[in-house]
Structure 1
Amino acid sequence: MLKIHVDVKLPASRVKELVEYHYTLIVKSISKVRAAYRVETDQGVFAFKNAYKLQDIDFIEKMIQTLHRQGFHRIPKIIFCKDHRRLISYAKELYYLEEWLPNVTEVNRNKMNWLTPAGETLSEYHQILAKIPLDIIPKQRDSTGKWEAKLQKSLRRLQKICKRTFRTDWEQTLYSFFHDRLLYAQNLLESSGPSPFSPTLCHGSLHHENIMIDPSNKVWLIDYERMTWEDPTKDLAQLMEYHFPSHDWPKAPIEEFLSSYCGTSVGLDDIPYLKARLAASSKLLRNFRAFYQGEIEYDMQTINWLKKERAKEHLWSR
């Protein structure tokens, strides 16, 4: 079985050899940028990356082709090898080459001016990929109903520990927090019904480093390794969870982001399914599992996480 890591741990000299051997390219310069290599060649600039979670790269490449055919060009293409393969195998790991996007920079996590174009880009991206045939989606990328199932499992566990005697005030505080939050999310789902959106192939990794912006204020998306078929609120909630905690969850920018995505003026109250995903986020469900298993620590990391979660609650308080 191939051993897959995110980071390219090869020396630059070896990367140069692999690129020139497998592609019709002559390397002019090479430099490490985070987990990848920026490779400047006689035919342009490319990113040499580890194929983390890309063993189904044929499917991913088809999705990128679909986006480009439909006029969505703000995502990098995968480059084919000389023998028409997409992956390079070396020392029990897999690598690939993709376009290095010119004239783009990461969005500024301290600003809000990129949220509207991000909403527009994500909407276009989702609408195109919502139309792909369901039978071509790899099983490992189909996450339909998984968040709801995890929420229901958490609620069952909550019932099991409701009579538990907690040893410390901290444990009682955490229990009360998880109790209120999980029930709130469940009540939202029961009262509002299913998501208003159609399932689509979500990006799945919308942190700041994967959202780029160009001089014309267009947003680009990179790093598609975590694509999953799911409700699009997965991407909406994920972007919001990465960006808004450090800004104390401001209502106006949130409404601007959601309105740009929906193409009409909306707020979080208009999308209760999304509000439920924010109330019982994936990280909250993981932390509750750790709490249930007695593995959550009383440390600054958990205290700060709880503080940030509490700050979110003004979004649904009246």
Structure 2
Amino acid sequence: MFRVKADVTIDQKKIKAIITRDYDLEVIALERVRAVYKVYTDKGTYGFKNAEELPDLPFIADCLQQIKKNGFNRIPHLLFSKQGELLVHEDGESYFMEHWLKLRELPSHSLPHFTEIGSALAHFHEASCGISKPDSNNPRSQWGTHHSFLIKSKKLLDRWQQDDRYKDDTETWLLRFLRYRCEMALHFIQTAPQDAQYGVWCHNALQHRNLMLDDSNEVWLIDFETLAYRERVWDLAHFLEYHARPLDWHPHACQLFLNTYQVSVKTPIQQQEWNLFFSYLAFPKRLYRRMKRYFGVNNPGSSQLNRFVKTVKREMTKEPCFQTLYTHLVQSE
């Protein structure tokens, strides 16, 4: 998954000047919210974001417009400038604005909303069907890339296990666990042929802050900067990586979300797709990033080791959930 920064670093005076010049809006007040600005104007409230890493924002906007036409409306509207452009420019950087939705962020304990989220994600995926997939060289095309990612990870682990620098008991334990999980992921994906995978446009960043609730407790999706075309089970696994982990991967919670998704899509997930889902869960990008930060640098230090150990111990809480979910989702079919 690629990461996109939307941080706005220019001062408020310049932001007001840009908005007045390019959008013909009167700025009443600005409020810093994380890395962006909430802009109160005479014609409504908007978000002001950096788009320096989003040269294809018009493409994203077109995808979202088509998703809305296909029936999923719970996504934000992007704002066009006076010149009819989505991107505006100042001092070599690009910015964009979108409507600021009057919603509340999903609470950190998200279990009470798992059914609503499962249903919303299913309908979002259904609405994305029919939108052309990008060329294979487009960074938003991530369908079918998991196998090569696992092969690359396994080669790194092979090299590190043969490296005399990593003979400490803790490092040996970490490498052994990583290899076990990487081989598990490869086993699952070998029983999940690529042509059996259902590709959709995935949100690709289903953290709490990107899931919002309206007054009717319906789920809205925001922040589509990381939108990508890939297998639909990626979004399911990615969601659980953020929302099931605080619940110690309780199988009932995972089943609640996945069952709701299953009954909400026109084409239910088949066994071969579930195998890819388990491959994603077995070796998530979080593990890869953490192993690179420790084994991939010189003299990483004790603090990096402690964070690595903490990550792996958290990952181990997922183990009891694997068999329960596999029995429920695959063996029961």
**Is the CA contact (8 Å cut-off) linking 1:194 and 1:273 kept in structure 2?**
no
Q: 1:266 to 1:70 in 2, by over 3 A?
A: closer
Relative distance call for 1:53 and 1:156 in structure 2 (3 A) is same
Give the Cα–Cα distance (whole angstroms) in 2 for the partners of residues 134 and 284 of structure 1.
Answer: 28
Which deviates more from structure 2 when the two are superposed, residues 64-73 or residues 130-139?
Answer: 130-139
* Closer, same or farther: CA 291–282 of 1 in aligned 2, 3 Å: same
Equivalents in 2 of 1:52, 1:250: separation in Å? 40
Aligned position for 1:185: 185
Q: Structure 1 CA distance, aligned partners of 2:256 and 2:113? A: 10
* Shift in Å, 1:268: 10
Distance 1:28 1:162, change over 3 A: closer
SS at match of 2:98: strand
Alignment pair present for 1:306 and 2:306? no
Distance 1:300 1:163 in 2: 22
AA aligned to 1:309 is E
SS of equivalent residue, structure 2 residue 81: coil
Distance 1:29 1:163, change over 3 A: closer
Alpha-carbon deviation of 1:260? 1.4
Is 1:285 aligned with 2:288? yes
CA contact (8 A) 1:150 1:285 kept: no
CA RMSD of aligned residues (A): 2.6
What is the DSSP-based 3-state SS (H/G/I as helix, E as strand, rest coil) of the residue aligned with 1:201?
strand
**Partner of residue 47, structure 2:** 47
Deviation at 1:75, TM superposition (A): 0.7
Verify: 1:148 aligned to 2:154, yes or no: no
Q: Please, which moves more after superposition, 302-311 or 183-192?
A: 183-192
Distance 1:294 1:43, change over 3 A: closer
Alignment gaps of 5+ in structure 2: 325-333
Aligned-pair CA distance for 1:40: 1.6
* 1:130-187 superposed Cα distances (whole Å, 9 cap, x missing partner): 3212357871211122222110222334445555554210121012101211111112
Between stretches 190-199 and 308-317, larger displacement belongs to 190-199
Tell me which residue corresponds to 1:9.
Answer: 9
Q: What is the 5 A alignment of 1:1-318?
A: 6-102=6-102, 104-135=103-134, 139-160=138-159, 166-194=166-194, 197-263=197-263, 271-290=274-293, 293=296, 298=302, 299-317=305-323
Deviation of 1:305 after TM superposition, in Å, equals 0.4
Question: Residue 271 of structure 1 aligns to a residue in which SS?
Answer: helix
Aligned partner letter, 2:107: N
C-alpha displacement at 1:202, in angstroms? 1.1
Seen in structure 2, the aligned counterparts of structure 1 residues 71 and 292 have a Cα distance that, compared at 3 Å, is: same
Amino acid at match of 2:85: R
> Quick one: distance in 2 between partners of 1:136 and 1:78?
24
SS of residue matched to 1:134: coil
Identity %: 28
What SS does structure 2 have at the residue aligned with 1:144? coil
Conserved 8 A contact 2:144-2:230:
yes
Please say which of residues 254-263 and 269-278 is displaced more in the overlay. 269-278
Q: CA, structure 1 residues 216+193, in 2 after alignment: closer, same or farther (shift >3 Å)?
A: same
Q: Distance in 1 between matches of 2:134 and 2:277?
A: 27
Report Cα offsets for 1:83-114 as digits up to 9, x if no partner.
11111111221111101101x11111124111
Structure 1: stretches of 5+ with no match in the other structure: none
Q: Distance in 2 between matches of 1:181 and 1:130?
A: 32
Alpha-carbon separation, structure 1, partners of 2:209 and 2:270: 26
**Relative to structure 1, is the Cα distance of residues 276 and 65 closer, same or farther in structure 2, using a 3 angstrom cutoff?**
same
Give how far 1:255 is off: 0.6
8 Å Cα contact 2:191/2:272 also seen in 1: no
Letter in 2 for 1:280: F
Is 1:206–1:239's contact at 8 Å kept on the other side of the alignment? yes
Query: For the residues of structure 2 that align with 1:57 and 1:187, how far apart are their CA atoms?
Result: 37
Q: Number of aligned pairs? A: 314
* Secondary structure of 2:97 counterpart: strand
